Amino acid sequence: MIKLKLFCIPHAGGLACYFNEWKLKMKERSDIEVCPLELAGKGSRSDEPMYNSIEDASIDIYNILRASHLDDCPYAILGHSMGAIILLEVLHQIHYRRQIQLPVHVFFSGEGAPKYTVLDPMSELPLEIFINRIKNMGGIPEELSKYPDFLAEYISIIQNDYKLIDKYDHKKEYCFENTKVSVMNGNLDTSINPLNKSGWQDYFTSQINIKDFNGGHFFIKEDNDKVVSYIVNTLNSGIEMEMGIVQ
């Protein structure tokens, strides 16, 4: 099998370790190396200032990719929820700067196409309502409720992330060529509708693939095994065809 790196961009409030379970699972089934990306101000980068915009985050991620010596290594990128919006801007950086090779595949997970998303400024909600909304999405680990100080810090981080989402220009127009795309969502995620799911096609000249899984907004945990299998099969078949291994 051909070695490939899968870079993963987490959701609002999410840490790189959210994808640690995938490291072992994908290693067992493929030669894919999972590379979770830590966003500034969180986890192992908690001593760094948080971003002021989605664009700031995308430039940071782009610079990490550029420093990863990808010239001789095929790679893919997955972004979940807010991470999917960041991924769209990372793609813009890659296509615009032309300093690193294009990813062999990108996965937009748990997020509708920004241009078709009905804006609902979460960061402006009263704190109690904001917390309840995040809880209902499955975005607050149950164990955090036992530790009020940690919970307060966590909520503050999520609020900052939603400020980035709320002030992002959702009407941006892009048209990327030579990019293979999968759009993944949970079939119970009420934040996703058919229009903003299929709307990702507007950003790409190639036909996108749309795949639904069992679960809500965090289906990548709820339907973990099937998600991993889908990603592995998609990447293995794609890279083999690109390298001429499959006739």
Q: Is 196 part of a structural domain of the chain?
A: yes
Q: Is 39 part of a structural domain of the chain?
A: yes
Q: Is 163 part of a structural domain of the chain?
A: no
Q: Is 78 part of a structural domain of the chain?
A: yes
Instruction: Name beta bridge partners: 213.
Output: 186
Q: Is 187 part of a structural domain of the chain?
A: yes
Which positions ≥6 away from 108 have C-beta within 8 Å? 79, 84, 87, 88, 181, 182, 183, 184, 200
**Tell me, what's the pLDDT at 240?**
46
Q: Is 15 part of a structural domain of the chain?
A: yes
* Total number of domains constituting the chain: 1
Q: Is 60 part of a structural domain of the chain?
A: yes
**Tell me, what's the pLDDT at 2?**
56
Q: Is 121 part of a structural domain of the chain?
A: no
Count of beta carbons in the 10 Å neighbourhood of residue 117: 19
Cα→Cα distances 177→60, 86, 190, Å: 23, 18, 30
Give the structural domain span for 224.
4-115+171-239
pTM of the complete model: 0.93
* CATH number of the domain to which 49 belongs: 3.40.50.1820
Series of mean pLDDT values for 10-residue runs along the chain (247 residues): 86 94 88 96 95 98 93 93 98 94 97 90 90 88 82 92 96 94 96 92 97 96 96 81 41
d(CA 220, CA 122): 22
